[in-house]
Amino acid sequence: MVTMINAETNAEANAETNAEANAEKNAETNIETNAEKENVLDVVDLKMRFPVRRGLLRRMVAEVKAIDGVSFSIKPGETLGLVGESGCGKTTLGRCIIRLYKPTEGLIMFEGQAISQRGKSELGRFRRRMSMVFQDPYGSLNPRMSSGDIVREPLEIHKLVDNRKEYKERVAELFTMVGLSPDMMDRYPHEFSGGQRQRLSVARALAGDPSLLICDEPISALDVSMQAQVLNLFGELQARKKNLSYLFISHDLLAVQYISQRVAVMYLGRIVELASSADLYSGASHPYSKALLSAQPRPDPFIEETRDRIILEGDVPTPLNPPAGCSFHPRCAYSTARCEKETPELRDVASGHFVACHRV
Ligand SMILES: Nc1ncnc2c1ncn2[C@@H]1O[C@H](COP(=O)(O)OP(=O)(O)OP(=O)(O)O)[C@@H](O)[C@H]1O
Ligand code: SF4
Ligand SMILES: [Mg+2]
């Protein structure tokens, strides 16, 4: 009897696992056929949850919903800016895309191939074509390696050159590309200025000839003059390498406006508005985007003087227990009973201008 029940339970569990695996496979195949082949990146309904564990047995007591159903694409040569308050999930999204994290659910299609659930050994080729530039260049560079070796390492890992002479030439080329003198190859990271260190990180990130760079707050640790230089460097690199795309994450709304063709606004693990940079900055529709952009100082002193700031009440709610319905409703001046119950979908409201709000 017990054996029969076990057999039944196992059969049921197997059927469930098979159904799940098939559903995932079908979804991936559908997306693979539906995805616009020309996109360098397609992210579909991505979710990332972090378990919160407590006690001796490390039981899971809750989940942080860091990413809660995010979809967007990036075309070759395009820069997509990503903005939003601290803790809304920008870094987690970047880390999922580059597969430092395995997403809980959803799909990541890179250069037409699903990479969301691939194991480490299957990610090698993709890791070369996708790199990340971090906020703190000092923390992301090995202090015990010379700058030349730091840039050389990815060339070695991905076996991109054959001999010492070629390594040296390629490293020198990458140094020059980011505006560093190849004479600096023997120096260590601590002998560089902040701006030079960030250039070094960019040189390393470019070593594998990537098609997508995920830049997570790449200028926020730099002083203002260095910020402009590094921002220009990103622009120059893209002008030189036409198909290089960026996901540019930053708190600096002016920098994002300057560098991005399109911008996505995130709030509590979801994209609430996505539009061309021109459309968003001249006419944001979502109440949260409006408030965020109203906080941006304007370079023109007259406009700055007349700028109307929308002050948001309260803090961003915790992603451990996000509000039901529209997660922005506790802070939104236009919230209705519907907003408290129904989560608004991200809809195309004006040819390529997407907004997630019941009021728009
Ligand atoms: N490894 C982790 N384990 C548990 N929770 C995490 C982990 N990483 C991030 N989180 C949580 O996920 C949420 C999103 O964090 P994330 O770092 O992605 O935000 P962010 O938008 O990059 O913020 P910031 O602008 O401050 O860099 C936060 O609530 C954070 O506490
Ligand atoms: S859906 Fe409702 S609560 Fe959410 S942003 Fe729109 S009006 Fe505000
Ligand atoms: Mg971050």
Q: With 80 as the cut, is the pLDDT of residue 125 above it?
A: no
Q: What pLDDT, on the 0 to 100 scale, is given for residue 124?
A: 79
- pTM reported for the whole predicted model: 0.88
Contact 42, 97 (CB under 8 A): no
Q: With 60 as the cut, is the pLDDT of residue 321 above it?
A: yes
Q: With 60 as the cut, is the pLDDT of residue 23 above it?
A: no
Q: What pLDDT, on the 0 to 100 scale, is given for residue 37?
A: 58
Q: Is 344 in the pocket of ligand 2 (CB under 6 A)?
A: yes
Ligand 1 atom 18: residue of nearest CA: 89
Atom of ligand 2 nearest to the CA of 338: 2
Q: Which ligand is nearest to the CA of 346?
A: 2
Which of 46, 47, 49, 50 to mutate to test ligand 1, by most ligand atoms within 8 A of the CB atom? Answer: 50
Q: With 90 as the cut, is the pLDDT of residue 308 above it?
A: no
Domain map (residue ranges) of the chain = 34-355
Best mean pLDDT range from 36-45, 276-285, 293-302: 276-285
Distance of CA 330 to the CA centre of its chain: 26
Distance separating the N- and C-terminal Cα atoms of the chain: 60
Q: Centre a 10 Å sphere on the Cβ of residue 95 and count the other Cβ atoms it contains.
A: 18
Domain 34-355, CATH among 3.40.50.300, 3.30.360.10, 3.10.580.10, 3.60.15.10: 3.40.50.300
Q: Is 284 in the pocket of ligand 2 (CB under 6 A)?
A: no
Read off the pLDDT band of 213 (50, 70, 90). Answer: very high
Rounded to whole angstroms, the Cα distance separating 210 from 127 reads: 9
Best mean pLDDT range from 56-65, 90-99, 304-313: 90-99
Q: With 90 as the cut, is the pLDDT of residue 278 above it?
A: yes
Residue 68 alpha carbon to ligand 3 centre in Å: 16
- Which residues have CB under 6 Å of ligand 1? 50, 64, 66, 84, 86-92, 319
Average pLDDT, the chain: 86
Q: With 50 as the cut, is the pLDDT of residue 330 above it?
A: yes
Q: What pLDDT, on the 0 to 100 scale, is given for residue 194?
A: 87
Structure-model confidence comparison of residues 248 and 137, the more confident one: 248
The strand ranges marked E within 111-217 are 113-114, 130-133, 212-216
Token pair in block for residue 328: 């922005």
Average pLDDT over residues 72-90: 95
**Residue % of the chain over a pLDDT of 70:** 87
- Residue 288 has phi, psi (to 5 degrees) of -70, -45
Of 14-23, 39-48, 102-111, 150-159, least confident by mean pLDDT is 14-23
- Which of 145, 231, 171 has the alpha carbon at shortest distance from 195? 231
Q: With 80 as the cut, is the pLDDT of residue 3 above it?
A: no
Ligand 2 atom 6: residue of nearest CA: 357
Read off the pLDDT band of 11 (50, 70, 90). Answer: very low
Beta bridge mates, 62: 52
Average pLDDT over residues 290-303: 78
Rounded to whole angstroms, the Cα distance separating 341 from 357 reads: 13
Give the neighbor-by-neighbor strand order of the sheet with 41-54. 59-74, 41-54, 105-110, 113-114
The CA-atom distances, in angstroms, between 169 and each of 67, 88, 101, 164, 254 are 42, 42, 34, 9, 37
Q: With 90 as the cut, is the pLDDT of residue 166 above it?
A: no
Average pLDDT over residues 179-188: 94
Q: Is 329 in the pocket of ligand 2 (CB under 6 A)?
A: yes
Q: Centre a 10 Å sphere on the Cβ of residue 123 and count the other Cβ atoms it contains.
A: 15
Average pLDDT over residues 30-54: 80
Rounded to whole angstroms, the Cα distance separating 301 from 157 reads: 51
Distance of CA 178 to the CA centre of its chain: 22
Residue 197 alpha carbon to ligand 2 centre in Å: 42
Q: With 80 as the cut, is the pLDDT of residue 178 above it?
A: yes
Residue 135 alpha carbon to ligand 1 centre in Å: 14
